């Protein structure tokens, strides 16, 4: 017998996991027909990057900021109001009955690794569907990553973060800690509250605008055997800040602090063709918000009365999902059920009224989804529906001091249809239709016992969304390119708006409809010489259809710019000495068209163009990168919202040490 040769030998190789590619494709796999943008934070090369800057690169996204870094900021998708955009952190809902609008400044920016933007329709398995789509923030997850980052910049701004983990056998551990803070004492254009009188304008300095935000994250993943995984994750975020208010009448003492602890647990077992993949996911969210504005004896500096609040909010959710990704070669099925519970306990020691008892919202939902893939997968037909029953138990105290109780039950239905066809040569066509509803938030339903009166008879906001478009990607002679175009439309009804109820109070009412039409385009080009060009542009028309009040009919919806664009140019030398030095140059340009702040279109916000640039080097053998960046190089004194100025020209520098984990070079997948 001849000795065994190479053909008879058995070699055991270590396991290789392509986590990054799998993650970047995950958003598209959840909704194969939808228009989805998957953004990876930190890859543009900036010295300091906010979530607003990351989101600005996606088509159809508009961020409104009420000040500089750390200030309240909201996000709108395809013209939908911020309250109709669901925000998730690692799949756990942050949008709730108590938080109808999630501020981007209350998210752990230093821990975010990727941002999934679902425009128009979102995966129904994430949670209750909302008319405006969804944003899912994914925090750092690579256990092999070891990173230290320190940044310093204008207006006393600091950023620091550290991430480390290890993987041994079936166990993987990861820990992260981060900090962002700034004095926020930038110079701004002060119109003295008289925008039509230029004679009394001057330059002011922002006061009481400091913020400090800390975040900490820890996760453990255990894979006792192939196909089975258990995961625990804890995310803690705390922010303390001053509230400066309007630039013309700055407030000197109001303070706000916010604390959130989000716990996640997940167990998943892979399946086969007939045996489903099973995933059990639970989340527990605890928040505490404290606001104090009591310096003046008879009123608040911010103009909303004297307040000393200590609000405690809680939300729990449990989801069980079953999926047959290949029940048949041309069929994929998914079903899920969820239970949720929210609680809101509100206290105010300075408003002179009794505190209300705790209000609660509970819900249960079911999802069914079907994907057909005939023609060898070149054609995908998607159909899904979500059913939810929401029960509200509202407790309030009326103006007379008497307690009030309202118990409501609502049923929501959210159907989806979509199609995608691969034409060939890298070209595919997509089209989608969906309906979704948003249940009113606690503030709209029972008010705040002061300037906002409750309205338990509110109906859910609803919208019908449609989109269609094409995407192409390809490569030739070292050039790689991708582009996407979509046309979308939304017809909204029963919109909730606050109307004046008396000289000192407002009340939420259903009485408005809206029509939104738009087009969005994005493109990316990578050249052999290390040059990268990326951009996105959105054209949009958002019109109020009334019918009441009549003087709003035909007007543009406020805070929906008609035009918005973003472009970024980057260069990394492909070879030579500059390559060995790790040189990276980048610049970006953002255009935001004119806008209005009020439904009658009298308070106009002019268009603006902001430019930035950065350069970085990694000059040593060990992976240390030094970056210098300039933002708003034209020193434009602008504001998204009248009276809340944004910073002018600013400069930042950072040092980053990164060991292990994926190299952050790929920016976006559309």
Contacts of 328 (CB under 8 A, 6+ apart): 273
Answer yes or no: is 1 within a domain.
no
Q: How many other CB atoms are there within 10 angstroms of residue 639's CB atom?
A: 20
How many domains are contained in the chain? Answer: 1
Answer yes or no: is 2 within a domain.
no
Residue 360 DSSP one-character state: E
More confident residue, 23 or 366: 366
Answer yes or no: is 5 within a domain.
no
Give yes or no for residue 24 having a pLDDT over 70: no
Chain segment 143-174, per-residue pLDDT in tens: 888 899 999 999 999 999 999 998 999 999 99
CA-to-CA distance for 50 and 224, rounded, in angstroms?
A: 38
Answer yes or no: is 602 within a domain.
yes
Contacts of 210 (CB under 8 A, 6+ apart): 156, 181, 182, 183, 184, 185, 241, 242
Start-to-end C-alpha separation, the chain? 58
What is the pLDDT averaged over residues 22-29?
A: 59
Contacts of 10 (CB under 8 A, 6+ apart): none
Residue 43 lies in domain: 12-669
Contacts of 550 (CB under 8 A, 6+ apart): none
Answer yes or no: is 30 within a domain.
yes
Q: How many other CB atoms are there within 10 angstroms of residue 126's CB atom?
A: 22
Look at residues 46, 24, 20 and name the one whose alpha carbon lies nearest to residue 660: 20
SS (H, E, C) 598-639: CCCCCCEECCEEEEEEEEEECCCCCCEEEEEEEECCCCCCCC
pLDDT of residue 447: 66
Give yes or no for residue 141 having a pLDDT over 90: no
CA-to-CA distance for 515 and 497, rounded, in angstroms?
A: 16
Contacts of 585 (CB under 8 A, 6+ apart): 570, 571, 613, 614, 615
- Give me 463's structure tokens: 């919208």
What is the pLDDT averaged over residues 458-487?
A: 93
- Give me 600's structure tokens: 């009658």
53 to each of 56, 331, 655, how far by Cα in Å? 5, 39, 20
Chain segment 570-605, per-residue pLDDT in tens: 999 888 888 888 899 999 999 999 988 888 888 888
Instruction: Please report which helix (H) or strand (E) contains residue 24, including its range.
Output: helix 19-30
- Give me 425's structure tokens: 């040569």
More confident residue, 264 or 623: 264
| pTM attached to this predicted model | 0.90
Answer yes or no: is 641 within a domain.
yes
**Confidence tier at 272 by pLDDT (50, 70, 90):** confident
pLDDT of residue 14: 39
Give yes or no for residue 663 having a pLDDT over 60: no
pLDDT of residue 500: 61
What is the pLDDT averaged over residues 185-197?
A: 84
Contacts of 361 (CB under 8 A, 6+ apart): 96, 97, 340, 341, 342, 390, 391, 392, 393, 442
Answer yes or no: is 204 within a domain.
yes
Q: What is the mean pLDDT of the chain?
A: 87
Give yes or no for residue 355 having a pLDDT over 90: no
Residue 458 DSSP one-character state: P
The secondary structure of 463-525 as a DSSP string is EEEEEEEEEEEEEETTEEEEEEEEEEEEEEEEEEEEEEEETTEEEEEEEEEEEEEEEEEEEEE
Give yes or no for residue 399 having a pLDDT over 70: no
CA-to-CA distance for 434 and 464, rounded, in angstroms?
A: 6
CA-to-CA distance for 410 and 394, rounded, in angstroms?
A: 14
Look at residues 588, 525, 624, 628 and name the one whose alpha carbon lies nearest to residue 44: 588
Q: What is the CATH number of the domain that holds 354?
A: 2.40.170.20
**Confidence tier at 27 by pLDDT (50, 70, 90):** confident
Chain segment 615-662, per-residue pLDDT in tens: 999 887 568 899 999 999 999 988 887 778 899 999 999 999 887 655
Greatest mean pLDDT among 49-58, 351-360, 498-507 lies in: 49-58
Identify the bridge partners of residue 435 per DSSP, sorted by sequence position: 464
Give yes or no for residue 254 having a pLDDT over 70: yes
159 to each of 55, 426, 566, 611, 656, how far by Cα in Å? 19, 41, 25, 22, 11
Residue 34 DSSP one-character state: S
Answer yes or no: is 4 within a domain.
no
């Amino acid at each position: 017998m001849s000795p065994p040769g190479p053909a008879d030998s058995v070699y055991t190789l270590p396991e290789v996991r392509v986590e990054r590619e799998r993650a970047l494709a995950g958003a598209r796999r959840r909704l194969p027909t939808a228009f989805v943008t998957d953004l990876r934070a930190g890859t543009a090369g900036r010295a300091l990057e906010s979530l607003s800057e990351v989101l600005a690169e996606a088509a159809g996204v508009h961020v409104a900021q009420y000040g500089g870094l750390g200030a309240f900021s909201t996000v709108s998708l395809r013209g939908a109001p911020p309250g109709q955009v669901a925000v998730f952190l690692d799949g756990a809902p942050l949008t709730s009955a108590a938080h109808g609008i999630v501020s981007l400044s209350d998210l752990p920016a230093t821990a975010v690794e990727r941002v999934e933007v679902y425009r128009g329709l979102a995966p129904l398995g994430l949670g209750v569907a909302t008319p405006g789509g969804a944003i899912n923030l994914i925090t750092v997850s690579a256990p092999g990553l070891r990173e230290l980052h320190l940044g310093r910049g204008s207006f006393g701004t600091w950023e620091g973060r550290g991430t480390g983990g290890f993987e041994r056998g079936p166990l993987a551990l990861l820990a992260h800690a981060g900090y962002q803070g700034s004095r926020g004492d930038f110079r701004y254009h002060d119109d003295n509250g008289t925008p039509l009188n230029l004679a009394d304008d001057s330059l002011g300095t922002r006061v009481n605008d400091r913020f400090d935000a800390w975040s900490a994250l820890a996760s453990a993943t255990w894979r006792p055997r192939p196909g089975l995984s258990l995961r625990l994750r804890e995310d803690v975020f705390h922010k303390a800040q001053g509230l400066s208010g309007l630039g013309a009448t700055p407030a000197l003492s109001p303070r706000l602090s916010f604390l959130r602890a989000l716990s996640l647990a997940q167990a998943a077992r892979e399946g086969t063709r007939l045996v489903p993949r099973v995933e059990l996911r639970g989340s527990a969210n605890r928040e505490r918000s404290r606001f104090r504005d009591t310096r003046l004896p008879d009123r608040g500096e911010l103009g909303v009365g004297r307040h000393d609040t200590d609000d405690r909010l809680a939300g729990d959710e449990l989801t069980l999902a079953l999926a047959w990704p290949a029940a048949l070669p041309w069929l994929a099925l998914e079903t899920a059920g969820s239970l949720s519970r929210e609680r809101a306990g509100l206290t105010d020691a300075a408003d002179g009224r009794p505190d209300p008892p705790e209000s609660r919202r509970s819900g249960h939902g079911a999802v069914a989804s079907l994907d057909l893939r005939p023609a060898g997968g070149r054609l995908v037909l998607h159909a899904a529906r979500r059913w939810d029953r929401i029960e509200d138990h509202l407790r309030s105290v009326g103006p007379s001091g008497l307690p009030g109780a309202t118990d409501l039950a609502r049923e929501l239905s959210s159907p989806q249809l979509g199609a995608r066809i691969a034409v060939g040569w890298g070209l595919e066509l997509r089209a989608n239709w969906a309906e979704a509803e948003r249940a009113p938030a606690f503030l709209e339903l029972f008010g705040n016992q002061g300037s906002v009166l409750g309205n338990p008879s509110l109906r859910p906001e609803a919208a019908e969304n449609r989109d269609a478009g094409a995407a192409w990607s390809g490569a030739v002679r070292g050039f790689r390119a991708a582009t996407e175009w979509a046309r979308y439309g939304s017809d909204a009804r029963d919109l909730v708006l606050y109307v004046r109820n008396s000289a000192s109070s407002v009340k939420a009412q259903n009485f408005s409809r809206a029509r939104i039409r738009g087009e969005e385009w994005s493109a990316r080009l990578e050249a052999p010489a290390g040059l990268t060009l990326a951009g996105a542009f959105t054209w949009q028309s958002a019109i109020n259809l009334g019918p009441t009040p009549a003087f709003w009919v035909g007007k543009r919806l406020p805070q929906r710019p008609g035009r918005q664009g973003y472009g970024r140019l980057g260069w990394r030398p492909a070879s030579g000495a500059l390559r060995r030095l790790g040189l990276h140059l980048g610049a970006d340009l953002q255009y935001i068209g004119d806008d209005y702040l009020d439904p009658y279109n009298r308070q106009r916000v002019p268009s603006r163009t902001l430019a930035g640039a950065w350069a970085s080097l990694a000059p040593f053998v060990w992976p240390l990168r030094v970056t210098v960046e300039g933002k708003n190089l034209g020193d434009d004194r602008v504001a998204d919202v009248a009276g809340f100025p944004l910073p002018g020209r600013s400069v930042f520098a950072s040092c980053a040490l990164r060991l292990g984990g994926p190299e952050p070079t790929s920016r976006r997948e559309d």
